[in-house]
């Protein structure tokens, strides 16, 4: 492998790892159901993205789906409540929207639609405010109370795609194609960046608790804007705010790491959360905890 290829692969390392995780999760569900995958006699991963079991022992549950169920007036099983608390705790520490870029099966579809939009279409047919997703989140919770059913779970393209891949129910592809066309031809990153209530939920979850952050070195930054151009949530890379905090603090950041390898000055890198200066404090220049260097 020549140096150019090695450098390119190193720059793609986060993307490759994200796809390995996303495909790996789906493969474990599929293999357990259809091929009987087990580990020491225990099924590897059974169920679905709303509620599942790891090795037949550890229950995992979608905290957003569990919250909707609670709002319907029904009390889930204790194992499901504990599973939801476990998942919630993990994403509160990692950063809520890590789910969106590292686990969600719809993410590769919307990423590809965003790539095509950037390369071929380059315009939105109309504008949608990003904060609309929080309104959709509130409506999903309100509807769950009114109709006494977990409202988003009935229409979620995430669940539809997962059921289609794992169980082959036949209708998931329709929702997926519609979502793909919407993101490509109507609004860039329209679903994940503007409408998805699950993304809004995880944004709220990780806003103040996330410990894994994209760090910023103001001294080396030239302000070229390449990071904002590639970011699916460009508002989180506000240079003035980055200079003040030394890190991305917005809960809307998905920690997808697209901005890290594209920065020519290597001013961005993953690291642990820094203490944020209080109101009125002078902007601080925080060093990066880890520098991202090419091999």
Domain, as residue range, for 159? 3-205
- Is residue 218 located within the same domain as residue 172? no
- Is residue 109 located within the same domain as residue 175? yes
- Is residue 194 located within the same domain as residue 229? no
**pTM score:** 0.87
| Angle at alpha carbon of residue 194, lines to 190 and 198, rounded to 5° | 110
- Is residue 189 located within the same domain as residue 250? no
Q: Within 10 A of 121 (CB to CB), how many other CB atoms are there?
A: 14
Last residue of a domain, one of 205, 224, 239: 205
- Is residue 268 located within the same domain as residue 197? no
Tens of pLDDT along the chain (295 residues)? 677 777 778 888 999 999 999 999 999 999 999 999 999 999 999 999 999 999 999 999 999 999 999 999 999 999 999 999 999 999 999 988 999 999 999 999 999 999 999 899 888 998 899 999 999 999 999 999 999 999 998 889 898 888 888 887 666 788 889 999 999 999 999 999 999 999 999 999 988 889 999 999 999 999 999 999 999 999 999 999 999 999 999 999 999 999 999 999 999 999 998 765 444 444 444 434 333 333 3
Rg (Cα) of the chain, in Å, rounded?
20
- Is residue 133 located within the same domain as residue 267? no
- Tell me which residue of 193, 184, 189, 50 sits closest to 134, measured CA to CA: 193
- Is residue 279 located within the same domain as residue 153? no
- Is residue 276 located within the same domain as residue 188? no
């Amino acid at each position: 492998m020549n140096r150019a290829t090695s450098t390119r692969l190193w720059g793609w390392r986060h993307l490759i790892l994200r796809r390995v995780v996303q495909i790996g999760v789906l493969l474990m569900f599929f293999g357990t159901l259809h091929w009987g995958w087990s580990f020491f006699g225990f099924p590897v991963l059974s169920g679905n993205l709303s509620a599942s079991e790891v090795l037949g022992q550890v229950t995992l549950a979608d905290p957003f789906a569990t919250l909707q169920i609670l709002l319907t007036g029904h009390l889930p099983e204790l194992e499901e409540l504990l599973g939801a608390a476990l998942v919630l705790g993990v994403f509160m520490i990692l950063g809520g929207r890590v789910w969106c870029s590292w686990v969600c099966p719809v993410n590769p579809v919307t990423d590809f639609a965003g790539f095509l939009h950037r390369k071929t279409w380059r315009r939105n047919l109309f504008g949608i405010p990003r904060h609309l997703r929080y309104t959709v989140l509130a409506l999903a919770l309100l509807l769950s109370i009114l109709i006494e059913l977990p409202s988003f779970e009935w229409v979620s393209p995430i669940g539809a795609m997962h059921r289609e891949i794992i169980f082959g129910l036949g209708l998931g592809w329709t929702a997926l194609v519609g979502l793909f066309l919407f993101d490509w031809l109507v609004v860039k990153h329209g679903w994940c960046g503007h409408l998805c209530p699950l993304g809004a939920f995880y944004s709220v979850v990780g806003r103040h608790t996330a410990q894994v952050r994209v760090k910023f070195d103001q001294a080396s930054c030239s302000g070229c804007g390449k990071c904002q151009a590639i970011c699916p949530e460009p508002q989180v890379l506000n240079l003035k705010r980055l200079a003040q905090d030394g890190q991305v603090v917005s809960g809307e950041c998905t920690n997808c790491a697209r901005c890290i390898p594209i920065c020519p000055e290597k001013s961005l890198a993953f690291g642990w959360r820094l203490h944020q200066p209080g109101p009125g404090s002078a902007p601080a220049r925080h060093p990066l905890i880890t520098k991202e260097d090419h091999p």
